[in-house]
Amino acid sequence: MTFSRPLDKIAAGLAFVLGLVTILGALGSQYIGGLQPCELCLEQRLPYYWGLPLLALVLILWNRLPLTAWYVAMTIVAALFAWGAYLGGFHSGVEWGFWPGPTACTGVGNDLSMDMLNDLQPVIGCDVVQFRFLGISLAGYNALISAAITLLLGLSILFQTRNKS
């Protein structure tokens, strides 16, 4: 007796779990570990905030979605995480000094009062690395993880295409 493995759903499920662990790790490092995110760090979280709920919906409605809607949703999620991989790579380049970061990371506003300055949270420059593991910053790991999620979603789409043909 052989069992068929729904590789398309397994790949999508792995992508979801990897994404969920990653964003929970980022939030934990901020709120529990005390690492302050910069502007680019916060922007790199957007694919997780937008993509994971959509991917969860696709996983929940896996066998009930029309195939076209499934392909559109999976392509949108894959594109979001590809954008996340780009953002992580860009941020890593800023950290290594390959190119300048956005002015939001380093700019100072003009009409600031002392009261406003006292109320602000500490601003971390996008070129400041707060944590490295094996020589790779968190932005670098985000680029790698987002690329892995994109690859898993691409494989899921490929497996689904092969199953339907």
Joined together, the tokens standing for residue 64 give: 């009930």
Q: What's the predicted TM-score (pTM) here?
A: 0.83
CA atoms within 13 A on the CB side of 3: 3
136: three-class secondary structure by DSSP? strand
The sign of the dihedral angle between the CA atoms of 53, 57, 58, 59 is positive
Return the DSSP state at 121: P
CATH architecture of 7-98+113-164: Up-down Bundle (1.20)
Q: Contact at 8 Å (CB) between 44 and 22?
A: no
Q: Contact at 8 Å (CB) between 43 and 105?
A: no
**Residue for token pair 């497996």:** 159
Show pLDDT as tens, one digit a residue, over the chain (165 residues): 344 468 889 999 999 999 999 999 999 998 998 888 888 888 999 999 999 999 999 999 988 989 899 999 999 999 999 999 999 999 898 888 888 777 766 555 555 555 665 555 666 777 777 877 888 888 889 999 999 999 999 999 998 888 765
What is residue 111's predicted lDDT score, i.e. its pLDDT? 58
- Dist CA 92 CA 95 (whole Å): 5
Q: How far is CA 82 from CA 16, 62, 143, 160, in A?
A: 14, 22, 9, 20
Q: What are residue 133's phi and psi, to 5 degrees?
A: -135, 125
- Dist CA 83 CA 91 (whole Å): 12
In this structure, the number of other CB atoms found within 10 A of the CB of residue 117 comes to: 9
What is residue 122's predicted lDDT score, i.e. its pLDDT? 64
